[in-house]
Amino acid sequence: MKTLKTQLNRYFLLAIAFLFIGFTSANAQTTPAGIKNVVLVHGAFADGSGWKNLYEVLTAKGYHVTVVQNPLTSLEDDVTATLNALDMQDGPAILVGHSWGGVVITEAGNHPKAAGLVYVAALQPDKGETALQWLQTAPPAPENGVLPPNDKGIVYYDQAKYHAGFCADLSKKDADFMYASQGALHVSTLTATVSNAAWKTKPAYGIVATEDKSIAPEIERNMYKRSNTKITEIKGSHVVFISQPKAVADVIIKAATEIKL
């Protein structure tokens, strides 16, 4: 009986040891190499909820992800919201901006915790430039539904064109939700000038959404080429980060592992 008890105790201890080894191995597999923090900055005609698919891909790989909720009231206000998120990070972060969010990270990326920038179908102006300047460098697609500002100076996206012009590779159901949850973009954001372009001193990566109907792909290419941004082209709509989250995550992870601190 004593021998049997001893054997059972031994088996129990071995089982605990194997569980512990398995647990620590699993943790090791979900600890990414390089920079571990990612801050996501949404653009116009959307809100932070659009990052959900990308958030899930990145967190499954062990990244700590923060989603900024831009007020969209001014460049200064959106930059402040992003700086507040960067302040919260426990170390260096990859700063990711979509669409108008590219203007925001261009300014906010000067924060000392912003180690690198990823532009996702995003605007990337230089010092003294505005978003509107770049948007006017190519004719809008027929599907583009950006409306003139209303009497309160707020710009919305035309509901009739939202699906085809903004997120054609999503379901109509998802497009309807995105339209309903879009932020109120103040027109003054589009004419606000950048004072200090972070991509001049921070490594930058850019994603061209080849099927983009909201920002012409040639505008994205021209901005990224001018700044020597590392370019990746992904077939997708303006919201390529929703329809192709793994491909977008791969670019972010590349930045997180390549950038040397």
207 vs 2: which has the higher pLDDT: 207
Residue 25: what pLDDT? 41
Weakest mean pLDDT among 12-26, 29-43, 75-89: 12-26
Which of 185-200 are b and which e, b meaning 16 or more Cβ less than 10 Å from the residue's Cβ?
A: bbeebbebebeebbbe
How many residues are present in the chain? 261
**Region 47-59 average pLDDT:** 97
pTM reported for the whole predicted model: 0.89
Residue 11 has a CB neighbour count (10 Å cut-off) of 10
Give CA–CA dist 132/150, Å, rounded: 17
Nearest of 243, 239, 248 to residue 47 by alpha carbon? 239
Cβ atoms of residues 97 and 241 within 8 Å = no
Burial group, residue 174, by CB count within 10 angstroms (0-12, 13-18, 19+): middle
Nearest of 101, 131, 130, 132 to residue 118 by alpha carbon? 101
**Region 53-69 average pLDDT:** 98
Cβ atoms of residues 100 and 123 within 8 Å = yes
- Indicate the pLDDT class of residue 14, thresholds 50, 70 and 90: very low
Residue 21: what pLDDT? 41
Residue 31: what pLDDT? 81
In the chain the domains, ranked by start, together with CATH numbers, are 36-258 (3.40.50.1820)
Residue 94: what pLDDT? 98
15 vs 216: which has the higher pLDDT: 216
Rg for the chain, CA atoms, rounded: 22
Give CA–CA dist 251/119, Å, rounded: 10
73 vs 15: which has the higher pLDDT: 73
Distance of alpha carbon 99 from the chain centroid: 9
Percent of the chain with pLDDT over 70: 89
18 vs 154: which has the higher pLDDT: 154
Nearest of 120, 115, 117, 98 to residue 106 by alpha carbon? 117
Mean pLDDT, the chain, as a whole number? Answer: 92
